[in-house]
A and B are shown apart, each in its own frame.
Chain A
Amino acid sequence: MPELGRAALVVCFGLALYAVVAGFWGAHTRRRRLSRSAQNALVAAFACTIVASAVLLVALARSDFTFTYVAQHTSRELPTPYKLASFYGGQEGSLLLWLLVLTGYSTAAVLLDRKAGRELVVWVVPVLGVVAAFFSMLVVFVASPFHTQLANVDGAGLNPSLQSPYFQIHPPLLYLGYVGLTVPFAFAMGALLSGRTDERWIVATRRWTLAAWMFLGVGQLLGAKWAYEEVGWGGYYAWDPVENAALMPWLAATAFLHSVMVQEKKGMLKVWNMLLVMLAFSLSLFGTFLTRSGVLNSIHSFTESSIGPWFLGFICFVVAASLALLFYRLPMLRAKTKLESLVSREATFLYNNLLLVALCLTILWGVTFPILSEAVRGEAVTVGRPYYNFFFRSFGLPLLLLMGIGPLIAWRRASLSSLKRIFFGPTVFALAVGILLIALGAGSSLPGLIAYTFSAFVAATIVLEFARGTAARRTLSGDSVPRAFTSLIARNRRRYGGYVVHAAIVLLAIGIAGSSAYNTSRSARLGPGQSLKLRDYTLVYRGVTNTRSANAIEERATIDVYRGGSRIAVMHPGKNDYPVEQQVSNEVAIRSDWLTGEDLFLITEQVNGNGTIDFKAIINPLVNMIWLAGLVFVLGSVITLWPDAREEQRLAIRYGRLARAPEPQA
């Protein structure tokens, strides 16, 4: 069976190479058959990857330890869902997953996308083929999932921290995001290669970019939730290089989503958009490289691997080739329109872009600094949280404010009087909230206070937008309020879906500010019956229990939680001991208060021989806003993604499928 897997991947590699060569040649000489053949090769490559993936999944499910990969990442006792999820738990498997998603997306992109037009697609195919060829080359020659060995009695097992539902879906979602950014990149390169400077590539890839961006965002939030619950130090983001690896392309993609709107409305920023999509894709490759090659000292990836140099080489190639192409086509891309006013919606989009890209680049600098300093000074110097926090606040808070300002400013230019009128309400509201918060003690953290005040401002603007829109709709159609509201959103999906996403970001900001600027914690060593007081909670330690589960020994401390004199919960923080993997994992206990959105976070750090425990309690205010933000984020993205029949028709006419004569038949 491993032979089948290997063979399928070799065929896939051959097909990808063919797609590149035939694709470029067919597009260059405008030969339809050759281009079609190249396109078919991509689709066939997808089929081959499916076969290879199926072989691996079957081997995992059957615990076939003749597969080295299966032996390294699973064990007999492992529950089946985790066995299957180990498909992407190791390096080789995750590369195969990249390839699977890539060929899948490629197939969908070239088959389903009618808006793009043949002239563009014939160039997109070979670009996608190049990326597919790279990844299939890796899984065939450098890091094959199909190495065989003499079967072990049992495998090495899965790291216990990864045995969590969050971690089962976190990698696939992230990959749907990372790989998804390949499609807009390929279309952008296709546009440059075909010499077309129109917006077709943007129109064709708008939903792809949105979907990839959504998956990347959700994937990161799930990763944060996993870190919060499984790794359990009380936080959810450590500015670890691998976390940053996913954040950077997401920031670039966010900037891109906004700046394409400017190109759409005003025909400006064509070159900037090209650069952004290149940046997003390169960062996505770089992110995969960071996670996989162990090039940096991070708690995520300490192994040196063979694929590092290949990745670096490919990234350099991609950056160099795309920049060269852009430079070659530069004269065609120059826009005729200029920015009319520094106070206009276009301008706020530009500021938003600058801030996002600046944040992205500072994170990139922080991540690569250790390598660079080691190369230059001979000593690796790491930057810590203070660096990231400083820039996150410096750029993030203005971004938050812009989110409230942008939607309210008109396109082209806004007059001072209309600005005063529009912003009066939200500003007053925000100031009132700010003063109230200071009275409640939020002045202890200035960034936190600013974050809350800005959030109030943005929230007010969003509410006003919906209110004004609904009112305007009602004057037009005379509908009731609910009907007007839904039809408003239905007729303006992009605008109001975008507002919902902004609302999600506001919730995120509130959650982050609350849990990082206003949290409290205490540690103590407790004997049975002793208690620890933290703000209005009293925590009493009762004792320790041990139970046996399928693959672990579970040690739990029983803690009674009192508030206001009555017991509100019993919590069981503790540890799991996994004999097969020879590891211990932290199992924290979290109690979420639904009224206040805060979490009581308990960690049993150490169980001592004399019956005492070393114990830490943390209160994270408003942290659940972050997870709520995730849900709202998905809702907003889905609204924005939702197909719009009228828009589709308009684009179909523009790109000549309805109003034109039918294509010549043989």
Chain B
Amino acid sequence: MIALSVAAVLAVFLLYSSIAGGGTPSLRPSSLSGHSGKVSVSGVVLKPVTGDAHGAGLRFRLRDKNGTAAVPIVYKGTVPDAFKAGGDIVVDGRYANGVFTAIPGTLITKCPSKYTPKQTT
């Protein structure tokens, strides 16, 4: 009986996974090309950081953590406090025509020390 239930649960969730189409690919700037859907990109923020996240959009370039490939990013929405040039971030969005347009509010920062959650919705 237990085995049956476990099988049932697995079935439900496998069903869901296939319907939901899985999650969001986590990429680096160098591997962005070829992905047209919603993706997550992580890397290092490069100077200069211009614009207004609550206005026309915050603009900066994001570089591979271990590389030189960089991509320009336009972001609108809440910016976590730890955001600064040289820091690690993760942001969701779409890559098209050489520019990564972020989904508002998805910017998350990483901090060098442990236990440092910085999060926005």
A299, B80: Cα distance in complex, Å: 12
- Across the interface, do A297 and B26 meet the contact criterion of CB distance under 8 Å? yes
Whole-angstrom distance between the Cβ of B52 and the nearest chain A Cβ? 8
Number of interface residues of A (CB under 8 A): 59
| Interface locus among A34-42, A329-337, A583-591 | A583-591
Cβ–Cβ contact B121 & A384, under 8 A: no
Contact A382/B23 with A90-B114, A159-B113, A301-B114 known, Cβ cut-off 8 Å: yes
Is there contact, CB below 8 Å, between A605 and B23? Answer: no
- Decide: A605 near B117, CB < 8 A? Known: A297-B26, A297-B42, A583-B82: no
Interface residue ranges of A371-404 to B (CB < 8 Å)? 379-384, 386-387, 390-391, 394
Which residues does chain A contribute within 8 Å of B5, judged by CB atoms?
354
CB-contact partner of A391 in B1, B13, B24, B88, under 8 A = B13
- Find out whether the CB atom of A382 lies under 8 angstroms from the CB atom of B53: no
Taken together as a complex, chains A and B put the C-alpha atoms of A370 and B22 apart, in Å, by: 11
Q: List the A side residues contacting B53 at CB < 8 Å.
A: 606, 614
State which of A4-12, A24-32, A228-236, A486-494 sits at the interface with chain B: A228-236
- Is B85 interfacial (CB-CB < 8 Å)? no
**Residue contact B121 to A234, C-beta cutoff 8 Å:** yes
Choose among B13, B88, B115 the residue with the greatest number of A CB atoms under 10 Å from its CB: B115
Q: Size of chain B's interface in residues, with CB distance under 8 A?
A: 43
Report B109 CB to chain A, min CB distance, Å: 8
- Other-chain contact of A381, B2, B25, B52, B116 (Cβ < 8 Å): B25
| A54: interface (CB < 8 Å) | no
**Which residues of chain B are near A383, meaning CB under 8 Å?**
22-23
A231 & B119 in contact (Cβ 8 Å cutoff): yes
Q: Is B20 an interface residue (CB 8 A)?
A: yes
Q: CA–CA, A606 to B80, complex, Å? A: 10
**A354 and B119 form a contact (CB under 8 A):** no
**Chain A residues whose CB sits within 8 angstroms of the CB of B90 once the complex forms:** 297, 299
Set of chain B residues within 8 Å of A240, measured between Cβ atoms: 117, 119
A394:B12 contact, CB within 8 angstroms = yes
Contact A161 B118 (CB under 8 A): yes
B79 touches A159 (CB 8 A): no
CA distance A72 to B24 in the complex (A): 35
Do the beta carbons of A387 and B23 come within 8 Å of each other?
yes
If A300-B117, A339-B1, A386-B20 touch, does A233 touch B78 (CB 8 Å cutoff)? yes
A234 to B120, CA, bound (A): 9
Q: Mark A516-553, 1 if CB is under 8 A from B, else 0.
A: 00000001010000000000000000000000000000
Is there contact, CB below 8 Å, between B120 and A233? yes
Do A162 and B118 form a contact, CB below 8 Å, given A365-B13, A583-B81, A584-B81? no
Given the known interface contacts A299-B108, A365-B13, A381-B26, the answer about A525 and B54 at a Cβ–Cβ threshold of 8 Å is yes
B49 at the interface (CB under 8 A from A): no
Q: Which residues of A contact B108 (CB under 8 A)?
A: 299
Chain B residue, CB-CB nearest to A581: B113
Does any Cβ of B come within 8 Å of A91's Cβ? yes
Contact with A along B77-111 (1 / 0, CB 8 A): 01111100000101000000000000000001111
Is A616's beta carbon under 8 Å from chain B? yes
A369 in the interface (beta carbon within 8 A)? yes
A378 nearest CB neighbor, chain B only: B31
CB pair B54–A614 under 8 Å, yes or no, is yes
Contact of A89 among B25, B78, B109, B115 (CB under 8 A): B115
1/0 contact string of B1-40 vs chain A (CB within 8 Å): 1100110010011001000101111110001000000001
Residues 586-637 of A contacting B (Cβ, < 8 Å): 586, 603, 605-606, 608, 614, 616
Q: Which residues of the other chain, A, contact B54 by a CB distance below 8 angstroms?
A: 523, 525, 605-606, 614
**Closest residue of A by beta carbon distance from B78:** A605
The residue that A231 contacts in the complex, of B6, B9, B42, B118, with Cβ under 8 A, is: B118
Contacts of B112 in A (CB 8 A): 302-303
User: A162 to B113, alpha carbons, bound, how many Å?
Assistant: 11
Cβ-closest chain B residue relative to A583 = B82
Known: A382-B26, A616-B78. A387 touches B120 (CB 8 A): no
- Asked whether A584 lies within 8 Å of B88 as measured between CB atoms, the reply is no
* A354-B5, A379-B27 known; A299-B119 Cβ under 8 A: yes
Contact A380 B26 (CB under 8 A): yes
List the B residue with the shortest CB-CB distance to A386.
Answer: B20
Interface residues of A in 309-368 (CB under 8 A from B): 339, 350, 354, 358, 361-362, 365
User: Is A140 at the interface (CB under 8 A from chain B)?
Assistant: no
Q: Is the CB of B27 within 8 A of A159?
A: no
B9 proximity list for chain A (CB < 8 A): 354, 358, 361-362
Q: Bound complex: CA of A616 vs CA of B52, how far in Å?
A: 16
Q: Which of B1, B26, B52, B81 contacts A586 (CB 8 A)?
A: B81
A91 lies within 8 A of B118 (CB): no
Measured CB to CB, the closest approach of chain B to A178, in angstroms, equals 15
The CA of A90 and the CA of B22, in the complex, are separated in Å by 34
Residue of B2, B31, B116 near A300 (CB, 8 A) is B116
A380-B26, A384-B24 known; A606 vs B79 contact (CB < 8 Å): yes
B66 to chain A, nearest CB (A): 12
Q: How far is the CA of A297 from the CA of B31 in the complex (A)?
A: 17
**Min C-beta distance of B108 to chain A, whole Å:** 5
CA distance A242 to B116 in the complex (A): 11
In the assembled complex, the Cα of A525 lies from the Cα of B9 at a distance in Å of 47
CA distance A269 to B8 in the complex (A): 20
* Of the residues A235, A301, A583, contact of B121 by C-beta under 8 Å: A235
Q: Name, among B52, B109, B120, the residue most crowded by chain A CB atoms within 10 Å (CB to CB).
A: B120
Q: List 10 A-B contacts (CB under 8 A).
A: A162-B115, A233-B78, A240-B119, A272-B2, A299-B109, A299-B119, A358-B6, A358-B9, A379-B25, A384-B24
Please give the residue numbers on chain B whose beta carbons come within 8 Å of chain A beta carbons, in ascending order: 1-2, 5-6, 9, 12-13, 16, 20, 22-27, 31, 40, 42, 52-55, 78-82, 88, 90, 108-121
| Pairs A-B, 8 closest by C-beta atoms | A614-B54, A383-B23, A584-B81, A302-B110, A380-B26, A358-B9, A381-B23, A299-B117
Given contact pairs A354-B9, A525-B55, enumerate 17 new A-B contacts (beta carbons under 8 Å): A156-B113, A161-B116, A231-B119, A233-B119, A297-B26, A300-B115, A302-B112, A362-B9, A362-B13, A369-B23, A383-B22, A384-B24, A391-B16, A584-B82, A605-B78, A608-B52, A616-B78
